[in-house]
Amino acid sequence: MKKTYEILHNSDVMKKAKDAIFADRDNTIAQHKALVLVPAFSRHEEKRADFYQQLMEAEGFESVRDSVNNVYTVIKGDGNGPTLYFTAHLDTVFPMDTPLEIKMNGEKYACPGIGDDTAALSQTLTLLRAIKASGIRFKGDLIIGGNVGEEGLGDLYGVKQFFKDHPSGIDGFISVDGFPHSIVYGGTGSYRYEVRFHGAGGHSMADFGMPNPVHAMGRAIAKISDVKVPYEPWTTFSCGVVEGGTSINSIAHDCKFLLDIRSDSKGCLDKANEEIMACIRAAVEEENARWAAERDRDEKSPYKPGPGQLPHADRTVSLEIVQVGNRPAGSQPVDLPLIRACAADYEFFGYETGYIPASSTDANVPISLGVPGVTLGGGGTSTGAHSLAEEFDPTGLEQGVYELFILIAALLGVEGLTDPLLPKLA
């Protein structure tokens, strides 16, 4: 693999590309600054997608806008190579009314979203200009652009849609959304739920004997807290938020908790999920059964109904489970050609590769579908992601973009120079 990088790095076409990238710095930063000022909260990416699409078209590339606002262009190769989908995400974690203003902090730019992932998004346009300026001809096809819905409640819906629209024909996936010289090669899957308990509600004393939604919820959480999960692959669960009830002397009508289950393995995620769902259902049954048993215990039970009254015990607690997140888990061998090619790129330029076995990124989707996928870092470094104090340091920006360019070239193969490092999937 090192040979491929040597050949490419020393080629005329790559020198032209490199010169173009290095000469493009001001333009890249200008577009980066323009993009970051267009708000793009997850599931509200339309305006930024419009603007990004205009910028792409302005470079002379024919763009595709899919049903969910993913934007990309297809650069056809000579038909003898694999297809790579290369993308940065359009959305940010910041709600649409977040004030956006760029401030300078020395050499660094500060603005919500400036790093994650607007930096990489602007660099996809730099890559397009370098492709045009160098006149490079790849063997494989490159699909390059920006996608929606990576963050939070976006729940990866952009990349999920892309792979729904492309059930076959994609041989590799790169999301640029991480630390420089790192490779995320596994997807931590997660299921998230809002678990709601409903009951008739009433007075704490007068209606005593009525199944209590808060009690049912407590039983559920107690059971969940004793669930056993494997250490390897890493599997976790948490109840992050509880709320419910209106006053101390009432039996609540409603209460709920938020549940987060994660695993680096789909099998373990599904197993934990199944066990936890069983805990919740059993808890509701137990709370309802307790008061039915009190009612039926004997003739003198005070929990029997009065005339014309529905027995308290029959005002049962019901359960409603709403899934609010579903990120598929996936793992793949670390020695896949795609992963080795990324590491070889970093190492060719003298960097040590930071391997990250699992994280929750857009690469979860292809990995879970059996398509090799990674999440990498781009040019420059950012800090304070997801915070209002987010910053981007453009030091080394051009070099980072050039490393991405040569990686794409190595993976797809270049006419007259190298064969693709990325195999076509069977």
Partner 1 sequence: MNKTYETLMASEVVKKGLEIMKADEAHTWEQHQELVLIPAFSRHEEQRAKRFAEMMRAEGLDVTVDEVNNVYALIKGAGNGPTVYMTAHIDTVFPMDTPLSIRKEGDRYYCPGIGDDTAQLAQILTLVRVIKGSGVKFKGDLIIGGNVGEEGLGDLYGVRHFFGKKENADMVDGFITFDGSSTGIVTGGTGSYRYKVSFKGPGGHSYGDFGMPNPIFAMGRAISLFSQMKAPVDKKTTFSVGVVEGGTSVNSIPYACSMLVDMRSESKANLDAEDECFKKIIAQAVEEENARWMEDKELYSDRYSKAGFVPLCDRKVEAVIEQLGNRPVGEIQPVDSPIVKASIDAFRAVGIEPVMRGCSSTDANIPISMGIPAVGMGGGGKGGGAHSSGEWFDPTDITRNLSKNFVLLCGLLGVDGLTEPLLPVREK
**Which residues contribute to the site for partner 1 (CB under 8 A)?**
188, 190, 192, 204-205, 208-209, 212, 214-226, 231, 234, 236-252, 255, 257-260, 262, 283, 287, 290, 294, 300-302, 324-325
β-bridge partners, 241: 258
Which tokens go with 192? Answer: 């998230």
Nearest-angstrom CA–CA distance, 190 and 270: 10
Closest CA to 30 of 176, 129, 144: 129
Residue number, 241 or 278, with CB nearest to partner 1: 241
Residue number, 146 or 325, with CB nearest to partner 1: 325
Residue number, 67 or 247, with CB nearest to partner 1: 247
Least gap, CB of 214 to partner 1 (angstroms): 5
Please provide the DSSP assignment of 286-335 as one string: HHHHHHHHHHHS-TT-TTS--TT---GGGS--EEEEEEEEEE--B---TT
Residue number, 3 or 300, with CB nearest to partner 1: 300
Burial annotation 332-364 (CB, 10 A radius, 16+ → b, else e): beeebbbbebbbbbbebeeeebeebebbbbbbb
Which tokens go with 218? Answer: 């407590």
Least gap, CB of 48 to partner 1 (angstroms): 24
Least gap, CB of 277 to partner 1 (angstroms): 16
Closest CA to 183 of 300, 416, 358: 358
Residue number, 195 or 414, with CB nearest to partner 1: 195
Residue number, 252 or 412, with CB nearest to partner 1: 252
Least gap, CB of 120 to partner 1 (angstroms): 23
Least gap, CB of 324 to partner 1 (angstroms): 7
Could you say which DSSP state residue 186 is in?
Answer: S
For the chain, the 3-state helix, strand and coil shares in percent, each to the nearest 5, are 35, 25, 40
Least gap, CB of 358 to partner 1 (angstroms): 10
